[in-house]
Amino acid sequence: MNFYAIRAIYRFEMARFGRTLMQSLASPVLSTSLYFIVFGTAIGSRIGAIDGISYGAFIIPGLVMLSLLSESISNASFGIYMPKFTGTIYELLSAPVSWAEALVGYVGAAASKSMILGALILVTARLFVPYEIAHPFWMVAFLALTAVTFSLFGFIIGVWADGFEKLQIVPLMVITPLTFLGGSFYSINMLPPLWQKIALINPVVYLISGFRWSFYGVSDVHVGVSAAMIGVFLVACLLLIRWIFKSGYRLRN
């Protein structure tokens, strides 16, 4: 394992993160704070408790996931797209660095940025609403697994994209709507029976449900199913990325 190469890629990506703190940290935290003010305080005061949890506290896991998914994809996709755009990807491909080592560097940095953001949002949430974490270990585990998995997914998008506009298509047109429809602001048990079954098709439901369980011990889907869904998606992304590097898809031309 070439740890020097991994460290070099990781430090380069984290340095870029440090140069764009306003965009990478301040903007998502500010946006999430507005959600807490509008939904948690203004609207939440008129909504009763859900599963015995105040509405302001209930939406915390969903809001963290909303930012985590978007930022994980954006960080990872931009990280691999820029070497393609500038042509420095050929230096990486010709260097004595395996696909796994390059992946650990890029995805590790993207996941680290997302986890920092997630932690900062949780700290910010404390300013607006009190909450407790019933299972701290599983909260961190779900946070890390989700960040890594969707950073892998973002890496795939960055390889696939052939223009800056394509980097935003999936986060804006797919992930954000799925997150809003995945129980971020409500429990899917509040939906009519037919729509509950339709909601289970949405993969983000399992992410938010498992993450909410780690906070309050309640979930719309069994926590084991949530963890399994994340694991399956993670393995699928790894296999696809391995094929991308082996075949050179959109990397060597």
pTM (two decimals): 0.91
Question: For 111-157, what is each residue's pLDDT tens digit?
Answer: 999 999 999 999 988 888 888 899 999 999 999 999 999 999 999 99
224 lies in a domain?
A: yes
Sole residue written with tokens 């920092």? 116
In angstroms, what is the C-alpha Rg of the chain? 19
What SS3 state is found at 53? Answer: strand
235 lies in a domain?
A: yes
* Confidence grade of residue 26 (pLDDT, cut at 50, 70, 90): confident
* pLDDT of 7: 94
252 lies in a domain?
A: no
183 lies in a domain?
A: yes
131 lies in a domain?
A: yes
One-letter amino acid of 94: S
What SS3 state is found at 100? Answer: helix
Sole residue written with tokens 């960040």? 147
Beta-carbon contacts of residue 12 (< 8 Å; ≥ 6 apart): none
51: containing domain = 3-247
Cβ-based neighbour number of residue 190 at 10 Å: 12
In 3D, which of 60, 68, 209 has the Cα closest to residue 149? 68
Q: How many domains does the chain have?
A: 1
253 lies in a domain?
A: no
209 lies in a domain?
A: yes
185 lies in a domain?
A: yes
